Amino acid sequence: MFSLLRQRGILFLGLSNTISQLGDRLTHMVIITLIGVMFPGRISVFSEFSVTFSLPIVILSPFAGVIIDHYNKQQIMLRCHVIQAVLIFLTPFFILLTHSIVPIWILVALFFSLDLFNNTSKNSVIPDLVHYDQYVSANSIIITLSRIATFVGMVGGGYLMQRVGWQLGFYIDASTHLIAGLFVLGMGAKEMFEPVRKVDFSLSRELKKSFNTFASDLKELGLLLIKDRMVILVMVSVFVLPFVSAVAYTVLIYLVQQEFGMGTAGVGLLGGIIGIGMLCGAIMIGHFGRYVNRALIIMSSTAILAIIFFIGPFFITPVFLYIVAFIVGIFFSLMGIAQDTILQEDVTKGIRGRIFATKEFIANATFVVWAVLVGVIAGFLSPYMIIRFVGIVLIAIFVFTITLYRSIPYEVRSKL
C-alpha cells in the first residue's frame, strides 16, 4: 500500500492532507484556548462554536459538488489553504482591535466553509492521480496519515496552545495551512486537474438544480423510511452519534478545561483518547463484526451509552471522564460501521449514494440543532443535569429501536 507514496501525486496529496488535518485540529485547540481565556464559566460559548463550524457544512453541502466539478481541483485546494492561512493570521489583530468574540465566529464560519470545498476536492482528485485498481490503497494511505495527524493535533496541539498561548497559537496554525497549500502544487501540472467541462453554464441555474435534487433525495428517503423498518432503525440511530458529539463538544470540553482546571491540554488529551477508542472499535468490528447481528450492535451500543451518561454525574472525575471517552470512542466506531453496513446491504444500488449523502446531512443537521439546544438549556441546568438528560434521551431511543426491531420479520433480522 505505502509503495504508492513513490508516486509524486499521492505523496504530495498525502503530505498536504496530513498537514491540513494537523492545522484543522490546531484551529480547534487555539479557539478552545481563547474561549477559556475570554469567557470562563460559559458553556453557551462552546455551543456557539459548535454551531458556527457545523452550520456552513449543512448549508453548503448541496452546492459544493456542483462548483468543484466545474473548476480546477488543484487550484481550489491551493486557494482554500492560502485564504485559510490569511484568515487565521489576521484574526488576532481583529480580536485585539475589537475586544470581541465576533471575529472568531467570522473566522470559524469562513474557515470551515473553505474546509468543505478543500476536503471534497481532495476526495475527488484521487482518480486523477492513480489507476482504478489503486483507489482503495490510495484512500487507505490518505486516511491513515489523516488519523495520525488528528491524534497529534489534538493531544500535541492541546499542550502546545497551553504553553505558547492563543496569539502565537494562531500564527503557528496559519503556517500549517500555508504549508499544506504549497504541498498541493507538488501533485502535478495544473492541466492534470482541469474539469471535464469548464464553467460555460449558468452557475445560479446549476445551484438551483443541485438544491432541487437534494430536496428530491430527502423526499425519496422519506418514502423509503415508510416502507423499510430496518432503514428506519438505522436512521433513528444516526441521531445518537451527533447528539452525543454535540454534548461532548460543549459540556464535556467545558468540564475538562474549566471545571477541572486541566486547560486546553486536557481537552486535547480527551480528544486523543476518543480517537484511540474509535481505532480500537474499528479493529474490533473488523475482526468480529461478521459474526454479530449488526442491529444488535447498534442497540446495545445505544444502551451502554445511555447508562454511561445517566449514571455519569454520580462519578464524574477527570479519570472517569477519560475512561468514558475511551469507551465512547469504541462504541462510536461500532455504531457507525454497523449503520453503514446495514445500509449497504439493505438499500438498492440505485439509491445507495443518495441515502448515504442524506445520512451525512442528517448527522450534521442534528449536531447543529443539539448544539443550539445545549447552549440554551445551559443557562437553566447545570452541566451534570444536562449529562443526565442525555442519558434519558438515549434510553428513550433505545426503547424505540428495540420495539422497532421486534416488529421486523425474523427472516430479515436473521440476515443482519
pLDDT in tens, 21-74: 899 889 888 888 888 888 777 777 877 787 887 777 777 766 666 677 677 888
> Which DSSP state fits 282?
H
Are residues 135 and 7 part of one domain? Answer: yes
Cβ–Cβ < 8 Å for 328, 305: yes
Average pLDDT over residues 337-350: 66
Are 308 and 359 within one domain? Answer: yes
3-state secondary structure of 412: helix
Query: Where does the pLDDT of residue 144 fall: very low under 50, low under 70, confident under 90, or very high at 90 and above?
Result: confident
Residues in the chain: 416
Residues 401 and 229: beta-carbon distance below 8 Å? no
Confidence of residue 416 (pLDDT cuts 50, 70, 90): low
Residue 261, sorted as left (phi over 0), alpha (psi -120 to 50) or beta, turns out to be left
Report the chain's mean pLDDT, rounded to a whole number. Answer: 78
CA distances from 16 to 6, 13, 135, 147 (A): 15, 5, 18, 14
For residue 226, pLDDT beyond 70: no
Is the four-CA dihedral 67, 239, 112, 23 of positive or negative sign?
negative
- DSSP state at residue 69: T
Same domain, 122 and 5: yes
What CA–CA distance (Å, rounded) separates 229 from 75? 44
Same domain, 59 and 129: yes
Let me know if residue 112 belongs to a domain: yes
Q: Are 359 and 24 in contact (CB under 8 A)?
A: no
Q: Which domain holds residue 238?
A: 223-416
Residues with Cβ within 8 Å of 162's Cβ and at least 6 positions away in sequence, in order, are: 33, 263, 264, 265
- My answer on whether 179 and 120 are in the same domain is yes
- From 133, 163, 188, the end of a domain falls on 188
Q: 275 and 381 share a domain?
A: yes
Last residue of a domain, one of 168, 188, 208: 188
Q: Which residue in this structure is represented by grid cell 491540513? A: 20
Q: Say how many Å lie between the first and final Cα of the chain, rounded.
A: 31
212 falls within a domain? no
pLDDT at residue 200 tops 60: no
pLDDT at 100: 79
Q: Report the CATH number at residue 128.
A: 1.20.1250.20
* 110 within a domain of the structure (yes/no): yes
Per-residue three-class SS string for 144-169: HHHHHHHHHHHHHHHHHHHHHCHHHH
The Cα–Cα gap between 79 and 93 comes to 22
Coil/strand/helix, residue 273? helix
Is residue 345 situated within a structural domain?
yes
Q: Does 312 lie in the same domain as 413?
A: yes
The region, left, alpha or beta by phi > 0 then psi within -120 to 50, assigned to residue 343 is: alpha
Answer with the residue of higher pLDDT: 348 or 50: 50
Tell me the pTM.
Answer: 0.69
CA distance 35 to 102: 12
Tell me: the pLDDT tens digits for 230-270?
A: 777 777 777 787 878 777 777 888 888 778 888 778 888 88
Q: Do 244 and 95 share a structural domain?
A: no
pLDDT tens-digit series, residues 358-403: 666 777 788 778 777 877 787 777 888 888 888 888 898 888 888 8
Among 161, 188, 215, identify where a domain stops. Answer: 188
If asked whether residues 231 and 150 sit together in one domain, one would say no
| 362 vs 1: which has the higher pLDDT | 362
Residue 194 lies in a domain: no
* 160 has pLDDT over 60: yes
Percent residues over pLDDT 90 in the chain: 7
pLDDT tens digit string along 272-308? 888 788 778 877 776 676 677 778 888 888 899 889 8
Q: What domain count does the chain have?
A: 2
CA distance 416 to 297: 10
In a domain, 216, yes or no: no
Is residue 81, in this structure, part of any structural domain at all? yes
pLDDT over 90 at 83, yes or no? yes
Q: Are residues 268 and 403 in the same domain?
A: yes
Phi/psi of residue 415, nearest 5 degrees: -85, -10
d(CA 172, CA 66): 33
44-48 contact pairs (CB < 8 A, 24+): 44/375, 44/376, 44/378, 44/379, 45/101, 46/249, 46/250, 46/251, 46/253, 46/254, 46/375, 47/250, 47/371, 47/372, 47/374, 47/375, 47/376, 47/378, 48/101, 48/105, 48/375
180 and 69 in a common domain: yes
- pLDDT band at 2, cuts 50/70/90? low
Q: Are residues 36 and 138 in the same domain?
A: yes
Q: Can you state the percent helix, strand and coil of the chain, rounding each to 5?
A: 90, 0, 10
Query: Quick check: is 200 in a domain?
Result: no
Which pLDDT band, with edges at 50, 70 and 90, does 7 fall under? confident
Residue 102 to residues 41, 97, 108, 111, Cα–Cα distance (Å): 18, 11, 10, 14
